[in-house]
Amino acid sequence: MIDPRVVRGVVGVAGLLAVAEAAGRAGLMDTRIMPLASTVVARAAGLAVDGEFLQDVSATLGVWAAGLVVAILLAVPVGVLLGSLPRVEAAVRPLIEFLRPIPSVALIPLVALIAASDARVKVTVIVYAACWPVLVNTMYGLHDVDPVAKDTLRAFGFGRLAVLLRVALPSAAPFVLTGVRLAASVALVVAVSAELLAGGAGGIGVYIIKAGSGYRVDLMVAAAVWAGLIGLAVNALLVRAERVLFRWHAARAGVAA
Amino acid sequence: MLDVVNLTHTYGTGPNAHRALGGVDLTVAEGELVCVVGPSGCGKSTLLRSIAGLVRPTGGGVRVKGRSVSGTPDDLAVVFQDYSRSLFPWMSVGDNVALPLRRRGLGRAARRTAAAEALSAVGLESAAGKYPWELSGGMQQRVAIARALAYRPSLLLMDEPFGSVDAQTREDLEDLVLAVRGHHRMTIVLITHDIDESVYVGDRVVVLSRAPAVVAADLRVDLPSPRDQIGTRELPAFVHLRAEVGRLVRGKPQLSKAPNGPSSIDKE
Amino acid sequence: MNGVVHRLWPVPVLVALWEAGARAAASTYFPPPSAIAARLRELWFSGPPSRLFLSDQALQDFLPSLARMFGGWAIACAAGIALGVAVGRSSALAGYVDPIVEFGRAIPPPTLIPLFVVLFKVDVRMQVATIVYGVIWPVLVNSIDGARYVDRQHTETAQVFGLSRAQRLTRIILPAAAPKIFAGLRLSLSLALILMVVSELAGSATSGIGYELLYAQQNFDLPGMWGTIALLGVLGLLLNSSFLLVERRTLSWHRRARQTN
């Protein structure tokens, strides 16, 4: 017995494609501007075995991973520090509140002047964007630690550091991972945006620009579809990781950053 | 006024199906207050929800004033057990009471007057401008009763209306229901798991069997009016009736196995 | 007032440290805040006090940017709430639409800018389309969620008292879903600012804050770039806090009801 939800989902997607296809064929949309749904699907399938496009995908994933790793290495320690030192946190909070809303893409023109290579430009901007979800969720996780657990350890004569290592960090870990998951989606969007805005040697964004300059709308849309699929895959993987690693932890919602 | 004829309801299908109602017959005359009691999980709420049109019965029918109804009858109001969820927290108490009156085609001023009257009937004349969550649990349930009164239904259904308040408040609310029904000449079906309460407020007590529920007994309550929380409960007739209902709810096997239809025990 | 002073004292300290550090380093790339402030004043804030010191140039840059941002946001809000409530109230419809929504929100909106350029050509329409596509998802997802999980007792009460469809929608479902919807609106407002900048940087904008940022870059005007970025930060902070203010007022029942329960 197949889950009716799955059936409906498949029908929904198929229906949307069929409507788009019919609109194109009936002449409601100019197929020279907006290609047929079937064309886009065929192009997207073709891209999966297109060596040039796969190189662009791996370039995007490269800067994405680099930026995400640097962001985690920066934001987790800072988050732990701020989360366990409330006075420092109170002092730094106005700065965070001011820096967080700055659109990371607005940094691209500035960083492009300062940084030596365009890979560094992209990684810098990704790090900036990906830091916030990790930082905010790490701080939140440390605040959320059960005071009874902390007091229990203190009562047994453990010091601050021991409490941090044995209670605070393990119980904050699920929040950190949620922050990483949110950061991963943000980082992917920023990576592609940076490629679109700053250009460079390769990447999905660069591929889309090239396709655009040749008026190949079908390839542009097909590449955007792949960007979406990669985003879904990354998110699904991290959701799975959260489920496997932190089965015991109910509150997986996290703090949207 | 209300005729429930061989009402059946089954949740789900196949081997997991749960038969909640196994053919309930119930007649309520105009102006009567009938209490429905039964063991927990026996389908009391399913019966009420079927009458209110909130679940579609699997079989049988509901007639109000001789006309068979599908869906929610026009002249009907419900007071739910969980007042905190049946009042709308984004509206003031006055707006909560006045909301259903839009359907009665009343203008703004008329709605406000009717709401104020209903609130004063339940002793909350000064609460119209407050929000439900600013009131205690008992007061919130009074608001829910006021909302039902303002609507002037010919049939009022109450689903464990006093199940979530403390004992003192419960007694006050029981007396409130007896007082307002005297004024408004409403027909009331009140569902409760409290045997004392059913005998104290009811003109009749209908006992349901275990699920699938049928009417196991239908007892007339002959206690003098007006009833009094201390005096009435001391009367030998009250004590006797309470014991009788209690035994029936515990379930004598032969009664719950009764074939279709009620096996009524006629008092007097 | 005391609380604000108490909270914000680190701000002047940090600015002073930054100033000292930047002067010591004397790098072209990292101008001191005083230079940035002077450039900002020159660019946009030399107007009369009656206009909050905004110069003509500021009006010329800010108004189109903000108009596009709020316009796109408003369209996305209206469409997102309408669609979301419809989908949320029908479990069948939700089954058909859920995967499409999941996929649509996964596509990075900037990847569609070249497509919108081809489709709309006109700059403003392309920018608004980018903003709408980028910010509709949080509104849509939160509206679906909010409308889907309206307390059953609320809807049953409405049914018992015979409220009409329109009354159920405006009096019961929308207020019940409002806390979720507002959370989506707030998130999408901050996204709208980001997409406003992206669309101005990507397209061939001829005015707007993003355009000024590109112009400053081409002229190697580093104080101007730092200033514009700081301005965007302030703008984001202002947008978020003013929206929070509206949200608190509109949803005061929700906050207070939760405190008492």
Digit-coded pLDDT (tens) for C181-214: 999 999 999 999 999 998 888 866 778 888 888 8
Binary contact (C115, A215; C-beta < 8 A): no
pLDDT over 70 (residue A92): yes
**Residues sharing a CB contact under 8 Å with residue B261, sequence separation 6 or more, in sequence order:** B23, B25, B214, B215
Which residues of A fall within a CB distance of 8 Å from C220? 113
Q: Chain C closest CA to B123's CA: distance in Å?
A: 23
Q: Does residue A24 share a domain with residue A103?
A: no
Instruction: Label residue B228 by pLDDT band (50, 70, 90).
Output: confident
Number of domains in chain C: 1
Q: Does residue A41 share a domain with residue A22?
A: no
pLDDT given for residue A248 in this prediction: 63
Kindly tell me whether chain C and chain A come into contact, counting contact as 3+ Cβ pairs under 8 Å. Answer: yes
Q: Does residue A209 share a domain with residue A179?
A: yes
pLDDT over 60 (residue B181): yes
Q: Would you list the domain boundaries of chain B?
A: 1-75+155-268, 82-152
The residue of chain B nearest to residue C252, with distances taken between CA atoms, is B90
Which residues of C fall within a CB distance of 8 Å from B151? 161
d(CA B110, CA B97): 12
- Which whole number is the average pLDDT over A29-38? 79
B42 bridge partner residues:
none
Q: Does residue A58 share a domain with residue A123?
A: yes
Residue C156 lies in a domain: yes
**Residues sharing a CB contact under 8 Å with residue C47, sequence separation 6 or more, in sequence order:** C53, C54, C55, C56, C58
Total Cβ atoms within 10 A of residue A175 = 28
Contacts 24+ apart (CB under 8 A), C240-243: C240/A101, C240/C186, C240/C189, C240/C190, C243/C185, C243/C186, C243/C189
pLDDT one-digit tens code per residue, C113-168: 888 888 887 678 889 999 999 999 999 999 999 999 899 899 999 999 988 889 99
Which residues of C fall within a CB distance of 8 Å from A254? none
SS (H, E, C) chain B: CEEEEEEEEEECCHHHCEEEEEEEEEEECCCCEEEEECCCCCCHHHHHHHHCCCCCCCEEEEEECCEECCCCCCCEEEECCCHHHHCCCCCCHHHHHHHHHHHHCCCHHHHHHHHHHHHHHCCCCCCCCCCHHHCCHHHHHHHHHHHHHHCCCCEEEEECCCCCCCHHHHHHHHHHHHHHHHHHCCEEEEECCCHHHHHHHCCEEEEECCCCECEEEEEECCCCCCCCCCHHHHCHHHHHHHHHHHHHHHCCHHHHCCCCCCCCCCCC
pLDDT one-digit tens code per residue, C205-249: 778 888 888 888 889 999 999 999 999 999 999 999 999 999 999
Which residue is listed with tokens 């380093």?
A: C25
Residue C200 sits in a domain whose CATH number is: 1.10.3720.10
Binary contact (C7, A215; C-beta < 8 A): no
Strand order in the sheet with B76-79: B76-79, B155-159, B187-191, B33-37, B204-208, B215-220
Q: Does residue A113 share a domain with residue A197?
A: yes
Q: Does residue A208 share a domain with residue A186?
A: yes
Binary contact (B100, C156; C-beta < 8 A): no
Residues 100 through 119 of chain B touching chain C, CB cutoff 8 Å: 100, 102-103
Q: Does residue A55 share a domain with residue A1?
A: no
DSSP E strand stretches across chain A: none
Residue A88 sits in a domain whose CATH number is: 1.10.3720.10
Q: How many residues does chain C have?
A: 261
Q: Does residue A129 share a domain with residue A224?
A: yes
Residue A164 lies in a domain: yes
d(CA C89, CA C148): 6
Assign domain B1-75+155-268 to its CATH superfamily. Answer: P-loop containing nucleotide triphosphate hydrolases (3.40.50.300)
Mutation site for C-interface testing, chosen from B64, B82, B90 by largest number of C Cβ within 10 Å: B90
Strand order in the sheet with B59-64: B18-28, B2-11, B59-64, B67-68
Residue A252 lies in a domain: no
pLDDT one-digit tens code per residue, B91-108: 999 999 999 888 777 888
* ipTM value for the complex: 0.84
Taking the Cβ of residue C154 and every Cβ of chain B, the question of whether any pair is shorter than 8 Å is answered with: yes
Residue C48 lies in a domain: no
Q: Chain A closest CA to C222's CA: distance in Å?
A: 8
The amino acid that residue C75 corresponds to is I
Mutation site for A-interface testing, chosen from C7, C65, C96 by largest number of A Cβ within 10 Å: C96
**Domain span holding position A79:** 35-245
Residue C4 lies in a domain: no
Residue C155 lies in a domain: yes
Residue C79 lies in a domain: yes
pLDDT given for residue B33 in this prediction: 93
**Domain span holding position C134:** 34-39+53-260
A183 bridge partner residues:
none
- Tokens read off for A28: 């409601």
Return mean pLDDT, chain A.
Answer: 85
Which residues of C fall within a CB distance of 8 Å from A228? 103-104, 106-108
> Mutual orientation of helices C56-89 and C91-106 as an angle, nearest 10°?
140
Concatenated DSSP letters of A124-136: HHHHHHHHHHHHH
Residue A235 lies in a domain: yes
pLDDT one-digit tens code per residue, C45-79: 888 888 878 888 888 888 989 999 999 999 999 99
SS3 content of chain C, % helix, strand, coil (to 5): 85, 0, 15
d(CA A140, CA A254): 9
Number of domains in chain A: 2
Q: Chain A closest CA to C170's CA: distance in Å?
A: 28
pLDDT one-digit tens code per residue, A39-53: 888 888 888 888 889
Mutation site for C-interface testing, chosen from A8, A185, A218 by largest number of C Cβ within 10 Å: A8
Kindly tell me whether chain B and chain A come into contact, counting contact as 3+ Cβ pairs under 8 Å. Answer: no
Residue A234 lies in a domain: yes
**Residues sharing a CB contact under 8 Å with residue A97, sequence separation 6 or more, in sequence order:** C237
pLDDT one-digit tens code per residue, B4-61: 999 999 888 878 888 888 889 999 999 899 999 988 878 888 999 999 988 888 888 8
